[in-house]
Amino acid sequence: MPSVVQFTAPYQVDLVSTQPQELQPGHVRVATWYSGISAGTELTAYRGSNTYLNGAWDTEARIFRPGPPTFAYPVVGWGYSEVGKVVEVADDVTTPQVGDVVYGIWGHRSDAVVAADRLVGRVLPPDVDPRRGAFARVGAIALNAILAGDLRLGDKVAIFGQGVIGLLATRLSVLSGSEVLAIDVLPSRLEHAKEFGASTTVVATPKVDTGEAVREAFHGPADVALEVSGNDMALHHAVRSVGADGLVVASGYYQGGAPNLRLGEEFHHNRVRIVASQISGTPVILGTRWDPQRLVSVFMGQVAAGRVDVESLVTDVVDAADVGEVFERLDEGDPRILQVLLRFEGAPA
């Protein structure tokens, strides 16, 4: 029987059996090898704090309204960083083919039926580590934040948060020609940021005014600040780190409001611009030239060219059956974890 990851209730997640999906015309069946856990987003499902679990999203008006929540427990099949092997194709499908290793979004499940057109351009060469494919989505999220920041050669950029997306944003910012200052609470992650090209790092502690620290390190304000941790205090310090008419890109997923963000101080007096970066769309100023698919292809092109080392971000590869233990560690803030990959039966050793 196929299996799927299920959030049964707050703080309860398991691998459960499920019925196989029927192969439809225009689709292929993929046997999942690896599925990457997005710690920020998926912890909100684990903890029960996700906005969709607590409010009703009106898809037409694009606003949350009172009423029954959009999602309710059990939440099945979350996940957006999957890699697997095509094992069956519908009669009308010519590509991908049986045996191809593909990456995409189909959730933490061992067996998935996926529209073939969603896998166009997402076939990995035979000699490539398949785990690379698990970074397509998070890499696109990081690149989207870079585009929202409108980075230019020589810009001074402060990046708050050096988890997987923050580290990828650091590397992509360096590739864009920016000077990067990386901020995180964990020194180990800051060491990784240096390896990815950050010129300066700041350890964030309750005693450190990181907004001031950025200004001291740059001998002036940052041109752009990227906030990718989802911590509203970090967002507040990001606002303080930029100068007049500075730009702050809020790429984190903020839960329960932002009580630590103060808008009557630097935000007001420096005319700071805060823009949200969210993977469902690219910056409007780029028009139709960019879309989420291009984000993925450009990022994976950088990986293929050896400019972005995603393999170094994988700290844990665990059997999918042990998903509960992994989320316990993530919830406790295990400092040793960067990217966790769930491994399904049949994945290469």
Question: For 94-148, how does the pLDDT look when each residue is reduced to its tens digit (9 = 90+)?
Answer: 999 999 999 999 999 999 999 999 999 999 999 999 999 999 999 999 999 999 9
Average pLDDT, integer, range 312-337 = 96
Residue in this structure with the two tokens 């490539």, named with its chain if needed = 128
pLDDT score of 139: 98
Q: Is residue 131 part of a domain?
A: yes
List the domain range (segments joined by +) for residue 187.
150-276
Q: In the beta sheet, which residues pair with residue 342?
A: 35, 318
Same domain, 38 and 128: yes
pLDDT score of 66: 87
Same domain, 184 and 68: no
**Pick from 276, 299, 330: which residue ends a domain?**
276
pLDDT score of 67: 85
pLDDT score of 258: 87
Instruction: Tell me: pLDDT of 41 over 90.
Output: no
Q: Domain containing 173 — which CATH number?
A: 3.40.50.720
Q: Predicted confidence band at 220 (pLDDT cuts at 50, 70, 90)?
A: very high
Q: Is residue 289 part of a domain?
A: no
Same domain, 209 and 113: no
Compute the mean pLDDT over every residue in the chain, rounded to the nearest whole number.
95
Average pLDDT, integer, range 292-308 = 96
Considering only CA atoms, which of 190, 188, 211 is closest in space to residue 201? 190
Q: Predicted confidence band at 71 (pLDDT cuts at 50, 70, 90)?
A: confident
Same domain, 251 and 324: no
Rounded Cα distance, 30 and 115, in Å? 10
Same domain, 80 and 187: no
Long-range contacts of 261-266 (CB under 8 A, 24+ apart): 261/232, 261/235, 261/236, 262/236, 265/240, 266/211, 266/239, 266/240
**Pick from 258, 276, 294: which residue ends a domain?**
276
pTM of the predicted structure, to 2 decimals: 0.96
pLDDT score of 108: 97
Instruction: Tell me: pLDDT of 218 over 80.
Output: yes
Same domain, 112 and 202: no
> What are 257-280's pLDDT values in tens digits?
789 999 999 999 999 999 999 999
Q: How many domains does the chain have?
A: 2
Average pLDDT, integer, range 68-91 = 94
pLDDT score of 26: 98
Average pLDDT, integer, range 5-13 = 97
Same domain, 101 and 169: no
Q: Is residue 76 part of a domain?
A: yes
Percent of the chain with pLDDT over 90: 91
Q: Predicted confidence band at 54 (pLDDT cuts at 50, 70, 90)?
A: confident
Lowest mean pLDDT among 32-36, 197-201, 254-258: 254-258
Instruction: Tell me: pLDDT of 12 over 90.
Output: yes
Q: CB 304: neighbour CB atoms within 10 A?
A: 13
Q: Domain containing 36 — which CATH number?
A: 3.90.180.10
Same domain, 161 and 242: yes
Q: Where are the beta strands (DSSP E) in the chain?
A: 3-9, 12-17, 27-36, 56-58, 63-65, 75-76, 82-89, 101-104, 111-115, 123-124, 156-160, 179-184, 200-203, 222-227, 242-250, 273-276, 314-319, 339-343
pLDDT score of 92: 97
Q: Is residue 143 part of a domain?
A: no
pLDDT score of 298: 98
Same domain, 93 and 20: yes
pLDDT score of 257: 79
pLDDT score of 250: 97
Rounded Cα distance, 294 and 276, in Å? 19
Q: Predicted confidence band at 253 (pLDDT cuts at 50, 70, 90)?
A: confident
Instruction: Tell me: pLDDT of 60 over 80.
Output: yes
Q: CB 70: neighbour CB atoms within 10 A?
A: 16
Q: DSSP assignment, residue 109?
A: B
Rounded Cα distance, 326 and 223, in Å? 38
43 Cβ contact partners less than 8 Å away, ≥ 6 residues apart:
327, 330, 331
Rounded Cα distance, 45 and 50, in Å? 6
Average pLDDT, integer, range 233-248 = 97
Q: Predicted confidence band at 160 (pLDDT cuts at 50, 70, 90)?
A: very high
Same domain, 127 and 161: no
Q: Predicted confidence band at 150 (pLDDT cuts at 50, 70, 90)?
A: very high
Same domain, 70 and 163: no
Same domain, 116 and 41: yes
Q: Is residue 291 part of a domain?
A: no
pLDDT score of 256: 75
Strands 314-319 and 273-276: unpaired
pLDDT score of 349: 75
Rounded Cα distance, 246 and 109, in Å? 43
Q: Is residue 168 part of a domain?
A: yes
